Structure 1
Amino acid sequence: MIKRKGIFGGTFDPIHNGHLHIAYEALYRLKLDMIIFMPSGKPPHKTNKIITDPKIRIELVKAAIDKENKFTISSYEIEKLGLSYTYETLEYYKALEPDTEWYFITGTDCLMDIRTWKNIDRIFKSCKFVVFNRSGYFKKKVIEQKNNIEKEYGTSIIYLDIPVIDISSTEIRNKIKESKEISYLVPKKVEYILNEMKLYK
């Protein structure tokens, strides 16, 4: 029986309830057997930004997903040398498990910028590309971009029109700096680690 697995990439700096909401919606709607959270190592589009130590981000993701047996975490992108390119990650997993049907889960912001990604054609060959809606994007524009990319690359993109939980990692970091409440934005175990380590203060 063919397994269906999703790769959900991001900096997760920190992971929050919005990420978990997306992961569960993808898990159920796409009937996936597993979702692999993939904290990015050195994302090429964020080379000018300060990102929290990867070991800490891994610890935060582990704390967030520890009760869900269909969620797991991979340190592949963090452990590999150099910049983290999505096509390399997907090709690595496709070679590792050739009989698995791979899904790559990302947001509408990535779809809108997809032409700036490296080796886009190889990404589409390695997976079913899944895009979830995010606040700040008009659905009509997103569908228009989806249709254009599908025609251009001869592919099919899955659009997950899910209820939006408007939380961002930037918002959480800013709230912590301002000593504001974040318990309603992140899982309890994540909040505990953030407090213990005094992250983002």
Structure 2
Amino acid sequence: MKTQKDQFIETKEQKMPIKSFKRKQVGILGGNFNPIHVAHLIVADQVGQALGLDEVRLMPSFSSPHVDEKETIDATHRLKMIELAIQDNPLLHVETIELQRQGKSYTYDTMVALVDQNPDTDYYFIIGGDMVDYLPTWYRLEELFTLVQFVGVKRPGYPVETNYPVIWVDIPWLDLSSTMIRNKVQEGCSVNYFLPDQVINYIKEEGLYLGTK
């Protein structure tokens, strides 16, 4: 025979609402960020807003396998500049997994680790429209497509037709590069408005980019 306590427990369990489970939606924008500039920030923010993502993480690479070897400043400086640049935007965050791992970072290996750490998260990997043509050269690409949804940012002069599953986002494109900014700093030219003021101040205080481009 059920006791009054048993009946109370059953009734309580039947009335408990079933919580709907919503997977977290996270964008990833990788790069050297040497230094981070406003074009990076615009892309990250606009993609996050356009797709309704919960957050967008800027992921500095320790050493990228997809570009020619280039001298870069210490990762500590690059990370600090990112933190300064995004401090007032709650949508943007930093992902340090590749800095922690060090060495060359293949996107596939990085995303395997992130998915394993965060099985409740869907990842959107953001690339420029110019990079879409290079997707066939990416390491373990077919497997990578099972881990992330690629997001292509349209760029003038580059097609948006591709056989790969890419979500395209149309964002006003700024023809701005970290290389150009480093050159201007080395030459003593102004970089006002190319970078957030906090980042400009940090570059001046630390004396960055004065000896190398």
Aligned partner of 1:180 in structure 2 is 189
Higher relative contact order (CA 8 A, sep 6+): 1
Q: Which amino acid aligns with 1:161?
A: D
* Unaligned runs of at least 5 residues, structure 1: 151-155
Q: CA RMSD in A?
A: 1.3
Please state if 1:190 is matched with 2:211. no
How far residue 102 of structure 1 moved from its aligned partner, in angstroms, is: 0.9
Q: Give the secondary structure class of the aligned counterpart of 2:34.
A: coil
Q: Which amino acid aligns with 2:28?
A: I
Within 5 Å, give how 1:44-193 maps onto structure 2: 44-46=65-67, 48-135=69-156, 137-138=157-158, 142-144=159-161, 146=162, 148=163, 150=164, 156-193=165-202
How far residue 82 of structure 1 moved from its aligned partner, in angstroms, is: 2.7
- Of Structure 1 and Structure 2, the greater helix share is in 1
Distance 1:86 1:7 in 2: 11
Q: Give the secondary structure class of the aligned counterpart of 2:168.
A: strand
Distance 1:133 1:52 in 2: 29
Q: Once the two structures are superposed, what CA deviation does each residue of 1:104-149 show, in whole Å capped at 9, x if it has no partner?
A: 01112221211221111122110110011234x33xxx223x2x3x
How many residue pairs align between the two structures?
189
Distance 1:115 1:25 in 2: 26
73-82 vs 168-177, which moves further: 73-82
How far residue 47 of structure 1 moved from its aligned partner, in angstroms, is: 5.1
Distance 1:69 1:157 in 2: 26
Per the normalisation by structure 1, the TM-score is 0.89
| 8 A Cα contact 1:21 1:165, kept in partner | no
* Unaligned runs of at least 5 residues, structure 2: 1-21
**Structure exhibiting the larger radius of gyration computed from Cα positions:** 2
Q: Give the secondary structure class of the aligned counterpart of 2:89.
A: coil
4+ residue runs over 4 A deviation: none
Per the normalisation by structure 2, the TM-score is 0.85
**Percent identity of paired positions between Structure 1 and Structure 2:** 35
How far residue 38 of structure 1 moved from its aligned partner, in angstroms, is: 0.3
